[in-house]
Amino acid sequence: MKEKLTEPGKDNVVLIGMPGAGKSTLGVVLAKIMGYNFLDADLLIQNQCDRTLQRLIDACGPEGFIQVENQVLSDISAERTVIATGGSAVYSEAAMKHLSEIGRIVYLQISYDELKARLTDFQERGVVLKGGVGMSLRDLYAERLPLYEEYADYVVNVDDLTITAAARKVADALK
């Protein structure tokens, strides 16, 4: 663990991890536990671009979407907020640098088997596939795992936990 809760200028909690790891759902519960606000970066992108993530990816392609995501994430200004990023946030070095400057990065770690069981709507979910639409979930997992580990200040395994139990585990790790 690198940071403490009271470090000046880093009073946000930034959740990263695979699609289906629970960033958005867990983020709401974590925000309630901590008395923080909640911000879902995917919804912010959708609202700013006035289209769903999947339509944005279809229109811009994976690289174009990553540029949009990078800009939106780099512009976030928040205090005492749990920020749930999209799973592809780690492709944007500038955005991750900004997020690490305003908060502590928590990687919600999930095993491949658990992910596969949770993510039944993988192809329709608005997931950025840098390797193209033929990219498998296993390939995506293998590609992103090192990036999540690189950017994380904290790693919290959420396998086999309820959302509330996982949120409590994250809150405890941040103390």
The pair of three-digit structure tokens given for residue 122, joined into one six-digit string: 């993988």
Q: Reading across the β-sheet that carries 37-40, which strands appear in turn?
A: 37-40, 81-84, 12-16, 103-109, 154-157
Q: What is the pLDDT of residue 62?
A: 86
What does the pLDDT look like over 18-50, one tens digit per residue? 998 999 999 999 999 999 999 999 999 999 999
Q: Where are the domains of the chain?
A: 12-173
- Map residue 127 onto helix, strand or coil: coil
**Residues comprising the chain, all counted:** 175
Categorize the per-residue pLDDT at 112 as very low, low, confident or very high, splitting at 50, 70 and 90: very high
What does the pLDDT look like over 159-175, one tens digit per residue? 999 999 999 999 999 98
The CATH superfamily holding the domain 12-173 is P-loop containing nucleotide triphosphate hydrolases (3.40.50.300)
What does the pLDDT look like over 56-87, one tens digit per residue? 988 998 899 999 999 999 999 999 999 999 99
